[in-house]
Amino acid sequence: MILLKTNYGEITLELDYEKAPETAKNFEQYVREGFYDGVVFHRVIDNFMIQGGGFDVDMQQKPTRETIKNEANNGLTNDTGTVAMARTMDPHSASAQFFINVSDNNFLNHTSETTEGWGYAVFGKVVAGSDVVNKIKGAKTTTKAGHQDVPVDEVIIESASVVEADSE
Amino acid sequence: MDYLISDLHLEENRPDITGAFFSFLDQIESQASRLYILGDFFESWIGDDENTPLQQEVKARLTQLSERGIQLYFMHGNRDFLVSEGFEQETGAKILPDPSVVELAGQKVLLMHGDSLCTKDTSYMKFRAMIRNPAFLKTFLARPIEDRITTARQLREMSQANNSEKSMEIMDVTPEEVSKEMLAHDVKVMIHGHTHRPMIHKLVLNNEPAQRIVLGDWDQKIWFITASENSGIQLHEQPFPAPTTS
C-alpha cells in the first residue's frame, strides 16, 4: 500500500499489481525514489477528478522516467475512488502524473485499442482517507502559470511512502 | 451569460462526448442564464418514448439545470427532429422552431440548425420535406418502437452511403440561401450548426457588415458560443476534459 501524506491529511492507496502490473510497479518506483515528495495536486475539478504527481509547489514540472504502456484494457473502470494514470493524447504516454476519480467517469474507460478509445489506466484505489480526497476536490481553484483548475491553497504531497499491509 | 451549442451527436458508444458535455455544464452552470441547443444534440431520437439509459441520464442533467433557473432551448437537427413535448415536459426545455430570431448580446440573431441552408443537396432537401411532413411524423410515431428503431437504422445507413459520394461543396450551406434568410429576418448575425465547419464568416448584406457564425461538432473538441452585453458574441473551442499531461 502507498501512504500519501498531504497537507490536507493522509490518503492510503492500494495498488493492483495483478491487473495493472506495469503501472503499479512504475508508480511504486516513483514513490520509492521520493519523486512525489513535495509534489502537488495541480488540477482539481469537483465532480471529475483530482490530478497530481507532476509539478512542484512553484508549478515547475519535474523530469520523469520513460513513459509506460497503457494498461487501461485490464477491465478496471474509472469509478469514484480509483486511481489512474494521466497522459497526453498518445495513449501510451503516462509517466508520473496520476489522478483520483471523484466521480464515476465512465467516459475515461477503455473501449477500443484506438487513440480515442484507449482510455485511462486504473491501477489502484483509495482504501483510506476518502474524506481527505473529498476535502481536496472541493478546494477553491484558479489559473496559475498557464494551468486551469489549480488550487488557490496548494495541495501538497509532503511525502509518499510504501507501507507494508498489516498481517491481520 | 447565454451559451449556444450544437452537433454533440450524443450516443451510447461515445461516452467521452457525454462526459465532456456534463463537465461543460458543470463549468457554465454558475454563470449561465440561457442555453441554446441548436440540433443534432442526439445522434438519433425515434420518439420521446424510447428513453434509453443515455437519454435518461441527459434528461436528468438538463432537468437539474432548469431547476436552477437556467432556461433551456432546443432546436431540432436532422437527427433529432422527433424530440417532442414529452422531452419538453421532462426537462423544462422549450422547443424553438427552426428558424427563430432571438435577442443575444443586445442584438437580433437568427438561429437555425443549418440543414435547410444546404439547398444544393437536392436529394436531402426532398427527404427533409418528407420526414418533416406532419402526416408522415404522426404515422411514424404511431408505429411500435421496435419498428421505428429498424427504420431509423436503415435511414442512417442510407445516409452514410450517400454522404460518402457527395462532394464537400454540396454538403456546405448555399451562400445565397444564407443571405436570403438573413434579409428575410432582418438580422446582421446568424448562428447555425449542422455542417461541422466551425467558423466566423464575415459577410456584407445591403452594404452593411454581417456575420454568420457556425458552431462545430463535438467529435474531437468542445465548441460553444457565448453571448453577453459585455463581451458580445464569441465562438470558443476547448479540448475534451481529460486527465492530460503536457
- pLDDT of A102-125, one tens digit each? 988 888 899 889 887 899 999 999
The cell numbers describing B14, all together, are: 461515445
Task: Tally DSSP H helices, then E strands, for chain A.
Answer: 2, 10
**Distance of alpha carbon B71 from alpha carbon B58, whole angstroms:** 16
- Nearest CA to A110 out of A87, A135, A138 is that of A87
Q: Select from A46, A48, A85 the Cβ nearest to the Cβ of B241.
A: A48
Give me the half-sphere count of Cα atoms (radius 13 Å) on the Cβ side of residue A10: 10
- The count of other CB atoms within 10 Å of the CB of residue A84 is 30
**Distance of alpha carbon B224 from alpha carbon B1, whole angstroms:** 12
Between A65-69, A145-149, B109-113, B157-161, the lowest mean confidence (pLDDT) is in B157-161
CB–CB contact B245 A84 (8 Å): no
Contacting residues of B for A112, CB less than 8 Å apart: none
Q: What is the mean pLDDT of residues A22-50?
A: 95
**Distance of alpha carbon B214 from alpha carbon B225, whole angstroms:** 9
pLDDT at position B181: 97
Alpha-helical regions (H) of B29-111: 53-67, 85-91
pLDDT at position B163: 66
Residue B15 in contact with partner chain A when CB distance is under 8 A:
yes
Residue A12 in contact with partner chain B when CB distance is under 8 A:
no
The cell numbers describing B119, all together, are: 439547398
ipTM exceeding 0.90? no
pLDDT at position A89: 83
Contacting residues of B for A84, CB less than 8 Å apart: 243
Q: Compute CA distances A63 → A35, A60, B177, whole Å.
A: 9, 10, 56
**Which H or E run includes B200?**
strand B199-205
Q: What is the CA radius of gyration of chain A?
A: 15
Verdict on whether the full-model pTM lies above 0.80: no
- The sign of the CA dihedral B92, B217, B221, B105 is negative
The cell numbers describing B185, all together, are: 429576418
Contacting residues of B for A99, CB less than 8 Å apart: 243
Residues 125-164 of A with CB under 8 A from B: none
> Does the structure show a pLDDT above 50 at A168?
no
The cell numbers describing B128, all together, are: 427533409
Mean of per-residue pLDDT scores for chain A: 93
The cell numbers describing A62, all together, are: 519535474
CB–CB contact B243 A43 (8 Å): yes
Chain A residue at shortest CA distance from B15: A107
Ranges under pLDDT 50 in chain B? none
Q: Taking a C-beta distance cutoff of 8 angstroms, is the pair B102, B190 a contact?
A: no
